[in-house]
């Protein structure tokens, strides 16, 4: 999206999109209230049962590193990450959305921006290989 990457499901929830299935819509309404077009409030405690240990670690890390920024500063920061930068020309040309390549998440952002992972170059390469193998397997057998 023009202002930064957004997961499709989160975008569908925020827009109350017809693309959102009824089960997901009902689940979202148990936890979120739409205050206005751009702001939401939580209305229930987090359903920790749906989060793995690594999900919680990722959320804690994200909150610690990025939780103090305004939405506009976060937008500006996302523009320095490969998953947005690769799609920037199409988005600037007027496309409303562009599909992300999840392998971009393994690349580093511009210098001076947090890489969002603590992997050595060797471990990152191995993780990326595993990710690509899984993508190829899913593409073949799905």
Using only the alpha carbons of the chain, give its radius of gyration.
Answer: 17
The model's pTM is 0.73
Mean pLDDT of 32-48: 91
Q: What tokens were used for 98?
A: 């562009």
Query: Which residues, in sequence order, are CB contacts of 79 under 8 Å at separation 6+?
Result: 4, 85, 88
pLDDT tens-place string over residues 14-33: 888 888 899 999 989 999 99
Locus of tokens 């057998």: 141
Do 73 and 31 share a domain, yes or no?
no
Whether 1 has a pLDDT exceeding 70, the answer reads no
Q: Helix or strand or coil: residue 128? A: helix
State the residue range of the domain holding 9: 1-50
* Final residue of a structural domain among 10, 35, 50: 50
Do 70 and 132 share a domain, yes or no?
yes
Domains identified in the chain, total number: 2
**pLDDT for position 137:** 94
Do 118 and 95 share a domain, yes or no?
yes
Q: What tokens were used for 78?
A: 């996302």
Do 39 and 55 share a domain, yes or no?
no
């Amino acid at each position: 999206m023009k202002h930064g990457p957004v997961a499709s499901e989160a975008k569908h929830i925020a827009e109350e999109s017809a693309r959102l299935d009824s089960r997901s819509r009902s689940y979202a309404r148990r936890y979120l209230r739409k205050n206005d077009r751009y702001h939401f409030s939580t209305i229930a405690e987090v359903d920790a049962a749906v989060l793995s240990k690594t999900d919680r670690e990722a959320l804690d890390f994200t909150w610690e590193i990025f939780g103090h920024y305004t939405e506009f500063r976060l937008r500006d920061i996302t523009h320095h990450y490969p998953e947005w930068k690769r799609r920037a020309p199409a988005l600037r040309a007027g496309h409303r959305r562009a599909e992300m390549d999840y392998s971009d998440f393994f690349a580093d952002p511009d210098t001076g921006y947090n890489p969002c992972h603590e992997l050595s170059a060797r471990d990152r390469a191995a993780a990326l290989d595993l990710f690509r193998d899984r993508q190829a397997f899913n593409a073949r057998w799905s």
